[in-house]
Amino acid sequence: MKSFRLSIVGTAEDGEQAIELCRQVRPQLVLWMLKCRTSRPIKESWPNIRILIFTTFEDTKQAMEAMRSGVDGYLLKSMQPLELAETIRTVHRGGTLIDQGMSHKLFAQLEADNSGDDHSSIKVSSAYDLSPRELEILQFVSKGLRYKSIASELYLSDGTVRNYASSAYLKLGVRNREEAVLKAREAGLLE
């Protein structure tokens, strides 16, 4: 596997500076240590820039908002430095990661929100902001393939496939693969 060195090409104190820095430098990855209001404009202008949120906030609403705005990872600052470096590499290679504890909280929140079986509150539209890789994973899931088989097919790790699937499920507002396939079909996202 090809490795790369991590290099800091700039720092910004606020969202405006971050956008200007992206305009000038065109980084491959942005590591936010603040709220993510600027993620959507950056993703809209430069869709190839990967965005990773690194925060102390264990706020499910903020995490969901971040994932819907197109961020590629949501991590808590409690992680170890070596783990952070590997996570940055994974996101740089196209992975999507969510802190495991936050992932459990997000799914619990989705379950609570959907417990009334009123799925009309989650609008079916193109606003899901699914990445091409997340759509690809959903295609395989819709064909009944398990994560391990998908990983083998795409030359990814089982964990990376699970992270993509989890991210897609969060963006779709569903709890499991069956709901994801149904929702994606209803939205016209699957072939």
**Across all residues in the chain, what is the average pLDDT?**
79
Reported as a single tens digit per residue, the pLDDT across 6-26 is: 788 889 888 888 889 999 999
Establish if 111 belongs to a structural domain: no
Of residues 31 and 105, more confidently modeled: 31
Please return the burial class of 115, using the count of CB atoms within 10 Å of its CB with bins 0-12, 13-18 and 19+.
Answer: exposed
Of residues 133 and 9, more confidently modeled: 9
Give the total number of structural domains in the chain: 2
Kindly report whether the global pTM for this prediction surpasses the value 0.85. Answer: no
C-alpha distances (whole Å) from 1 to each of 83, 132, 149, 155, 172 are: 17, 22, 20, 11, 32
Q: Are residues 86 and 131 in the same domain?
A: no
Q: Are residues 96 and 120 in the same domain?
A: no
As a whole number, mean pLDDT of residues 98-104 equals 73
CATH number at residue 125: 1.10.10.10
The whole-number pLDDT of residue 23 equals 92
Residue 74 pairs with which residues in a beta bridge?
53, 98
CATH number at residue 48: 3.40.50.2300
The whole-number pLDDT of residue 127 equals 53
C-alpha distances (whole Å) from 138 to each of 3, 107, 123, 127 are: 28, 18, 18, 16
As a whole number, mean pLDDT of residues 22-43 equals 82
As a whole number, mean pLDDT of residues 17-37 equals 84
Q: Are residues 94 and 122 in the same domain?
A: no
Q: Are residues 33 and 94 in the same domain?
A: yes
Q: Are residues 36 and 84 in the same domain?
A: yes
Range of the domain at 172: 116-191
**What is the residue-wise DSSP string for 38-98?**
THHHHHHH-TTSEEEEEES---HHHHHHHHHTT-SEEEETTS-HHHHHHHHHHHHTT--EE
Direct distance between the N- and C-terminal alpha carbons of the chain, in angstroms, rounded to an integer = 32
The residue from 67, 101, 135 where one domain ends is 101
Q: Are residues 121 and 185 in the same domain?
A: yes
